[in-house]
Amino acid sequence: MPVDRHLLTQEARDLLQLTRDVADKALSPIVDEHEETESYPEEIFATLGEAGLLSLPYPESWGGGGQPYEVYLQVLEELAARWAAVAVAVSVHSLACHPMLAFGSEEQKQRWLPEMLSGSTIGAYSLSEPQAGSDAAALTCKAAVTDDGYRITGTKAWITHGGIADFYNLFARTREGSHGVSCFLVPRDTAGLSFGRPEKKMGLHAVPTTSAHFDNAFVSAERRIGLDGQGLQIAFSALDSGRLGIAAVAVGIAQAALDEAVNYAKERTAFGRRILDHQGLGFLLADMAAAVDSARATYLEAARRRDAGLPYSRNASVAKLVATDAAMKVTTDAVQVLGGYGYTRDFRVERYMREAKITQIFEGTNQIQRLVISRHLAG
* Rg, Å, the chain Cα set: 21
Residue 363 falls in the annotated catalytic set: yes
**Which amino acid makes up residue 274?**
R
Cβ(65)–Cβ(19) below 8 Å: no
**Which amino acid makes up residue 376?**
H
Cβ(211)–Cβ(228) below 8 Å: no
Cβ(209)–Cβ(160) below 8 Å: yes
Which among 70, 77, 350, 363 is annotated as catalytic?
Answer: 363
Helix 84-103 and helix 106-117: axis angle, to 10°?
160
As annotated, the active-site residues are: 363
